[in-house]
Amino acid sequence: MSNKQIVRVTPQSPAEKAGVQVGEVLLQVGEHVILDVLDYKFYTYDADITLLLKTPEDEIRSVFVPKDVGEDLGLDFSTYLMDKPRHCSNKCLFCFVDQMPQGMRETLYFKDDDARLSFLMGNYMTLTNLSKREIQRIIDLKISPINISVHATDSALRAKLLSNKRGGEAFSIMRDFAKAGITMACQIVAMPGLNDGEALQKSMEDLLQLYPQVSSVSIVPVGLTKYREGLYPLKPFDEVSANGLLEQVETFAKNCKETMGTSLFWCSDEFYIKAKRPLPEDEYYEEYKQLENGVGMLRMLDVEFTGASYGVEEIPPVEPFSIATGVSASSFLHEMIDRMAVKCHTELDYHIYPIVNHFFGEMINVTGLITGQDLIAQLKGKPLGSRLLISQSMLRHGEQVFLDDITVEEVQEQLNVPIVPIGQDGFDLFEAVFGV
């Protein structure tokens, strides 16, 4: 089956009204050959377009499709990208996929590094597997915004971090993107002794040169599992080194704020937790541009949780409950819920259980990497109340399955308590806790 074969035509869509059929293959839009989903979305944006199609009988036909500017054609193809996903060509010193145990589902071992997924799904790419033609196509089609894993702007250092000689080309490509008006959100995975200190300072200074096309930069600590045998010897951030990096980034960001009106650089929540420092207040995060990298996630949760209580004067007693969360977020959640209970004049009977990550290793303390087997092992026999609240981030997207392929139903049976998955949303958490 061709990647560009049509598998569904939305009822009452422009394509259906024009007579486009399931099973046909899209060849061209107007005079433009369609290579993948980027070409498709760009060239079908205009009003009143002509499609060149190949029928299941290998006949070529042309179909005129009347439509409004920006209106979706209403076609689904055999693959989302209308092409094969592009595998990462790097061997990053810090790659999380290389640190996973054997025997997990196959999809967890696939390393994507695809510019199309960066634009369409918000994935981060390294730029190392882009050909000159593809770089030019991003510029020509104005593919924006895109997300880039920078890690370092020094060419030699970046090539080392990615174990790829093409890694050193990234900043030059980013300059070309900036000149073309492409907006870029950037990420730096910080590693003690490698790309922190002077290297991080250079990276921040270089990226600042590309503002406003570089619209935000997150700095996150390297994640290290217990499965690192044979891999590059990396060490985690501790309280001292995390404080040092925070001081460095916040000082630089403060100067950016004073001169340009934006901090531009933000550290993830995990750095503040490692440094045992309070999280910045709501206004510090501006528009929360780097939430997907854990920048301001806990603060936004708190803001939403507080906002959910507006107009609520008093809450009737609620049934006992429990929450399972990552070690890093547990104390913050406890303080937040206790403060709200006082505000709403209610007493709570609950437990928050910080789950130690034995599956990946105790250095991994984020909630989204908790497995079903760790929940069972650490909560069995504990007082859990009438329900156990967990974060939806522990589960495979759209499913009720943990990373280790244990289902929510199986955990419920083992713990003998209903499990309530909650989105990363303070309003959902407030409702789940207080029933309001």
Q: What is the largest CA-CA distance in the chain?
A: 73
Delimit the domains of the chain by residue range: 6-77, 97-294, 304-434
Q: Among 39-53, 105-119, 352-366, where is mean pLDDT lowest?
A: 105-119
- The rounded distance, in Å, linking the Cα atoms of 262 and 285 is 10
- The rounded distance, in Å, linking the Cα atoms of 302 and 236 is 27
pLDDT digits (tens, 9 = 90+) for 126-143: 999 888 988 998 998 888
Q: What is the pLDDT of residue 423?
A: 87
Closest CA relative to residue 275, chosen from 249, 240, 248, 299: 240
The first and second tokens of residue 90, run together, are: 């790097």
Q: Quick one: 29 exposed, middle or buried, by C-beta within 10 A (0-12, 13-18, 19+)?
A: buried
- Most trustworthy range by pLDDT among 43-47, 113-117, 194-198, 421-425: 194-198
Task: Please name the CATH architecture into which domain 97-294 falls.
Answer: Alpha-Beta Horseshoe (3.80)
Encoded amino acid at 8, one letter: R
Q: Is the pTM of this model over 0.75?
A: yes
Residue with tokens 């404080």: 243
Contact 96, 225 (CB under 8 A): yes
Confidence check: pLDDT of 64 > 70 = yes
Helix axes 426-434, 297-307, angle to 10 degrees: 50
Half-sphere exposure of 193 (CA within 13 A, CB side): 8
- The rounded distance, in Å, linking the Cα atoms of 174 and 158 is 14
Closest CA relative to residue 147, chosen from 221, 214, 80, 222: 214
Length of the chain: 436
- The rounded distance, in Å, linking the Cα atoms of 334 and 209 is 41
Helix axes 170-179, 132-140, angle to 10 degrees: 20
- The rounded distance, in Å, linking the Cα atoms of 273 and 248 is 16
Q: Is the peptide bond before 212 cis (omega within 30 degrees of 0)?
A: yes
Q: What is the pLDDT of residue 1?
A: 66
Superfamily the domain 6-77 falls into: PDZ domain (2.30.42.10)
pLDDT digits (tens, 9 = 90+) for 359-379: 999 999 999 999 999 999 999
**Vertex 158: Cα angle to 152 and 159 (nearest 5):** 175
Closest CA relative to residue 37, chosen from 70, 80, 7: 80
Confidence check: pLDDT of 115 > 90 = no
Fold of 304-434: Rossmann fold (3.40.50)
Name the E strands within 191-258: 214-221
Phi and psi torsions of 391, nearest 5°: -80, 140
- The rounded distance, in Å, linking the Cα atoms of 280 and 295 is 10
